[in-house]
Amino acid sequence: MQQIRCNSETNGRVTDNRGANSPDGRILLKNAKIIGGFSGTGKSYVGVRYANTLDLDLGSYKYVYDEDPKIPFEARKAMKEYRINPNWPNNYIEAIEKNKPHYDLILVSYCPEIAGLLDYYFSPSPSGWAVLKKRFEERGNNPQFIKILHARFKQEINIPKSKFINVQLGRDEFLEQALIREGLL
């Protein structure tokens, strides 16, 4: 897969880094691998850095955000004012399915509603919470969201096996490194 550099901000939204055009400009159809990963493991980083990858931020589909430019996107996560999108989870499932023909990898957050769509889930290391917590703080997540993530972390290190392949990240390992190790990048 072609590695590229991109300076654009994802702002917690869809990171579209296509690059799958044929010489005559047509988009080549793919059958994307659906890659689940825990928050803070580097899904958005991979989505920006690699061609033919798409990062679909779960929060952008699950919640209705009233855009407030004064509050950075990462700081808005888990604020109580936000309500569940009435189209959830169908809107997320539809976005994943709609984009499968256009990318090699689609990066998503794990949630039970989409477990059946995953090809791989990259679970955090049981000893990796301190590293992840530091990443959350550095990217500006609010304390309430970090508390929610800590509870999810305890659950997601032991997600029951399904049809997807579960790959555990090393304590200090980012998703990019694990995808390379598994031959997916």
Give the model confidence (pLDDT) of 97-138 as tens digits: 999 999 999 999 988 899 999 999 998 898 989 999 999 999
State how many domains the chain has. Answer: 1
Residue at 150 is within a domain: yes
Residue at 103 is within a domain: yes
Across the beta sheet with 120-123, the strand order is: 15-17, 53-56, 105-109, 33-37, 120-123, 165-168
Residue at 2 is within a domain: no
pTM of the model: 0.76
Q: How far apart are CA 28 and CA 101, in angstroms?
A: 8
Residue at 76 is within a domain: yes
Residue at 141 is within a domain: yes
Residue at 101 is within a domain: yes
Residue at 132 is within a domain: yes
Angle between helices 143-156 and 129-138 (to 10 degrees): 150
- Give 13-40 pLDDT, tens digit per residue: 344 444 444 444 544 456 899 999 999 9
Residue at 3 is within a domain: no
Q: Half-sphere exposure of residue 34, counting CA atoms within 13 Å on the CB side?
A: 22
Cβ atoms of 103 and 18 within 8 Å: the answer is: yes
Domain encompassing residue 109 = 15-181
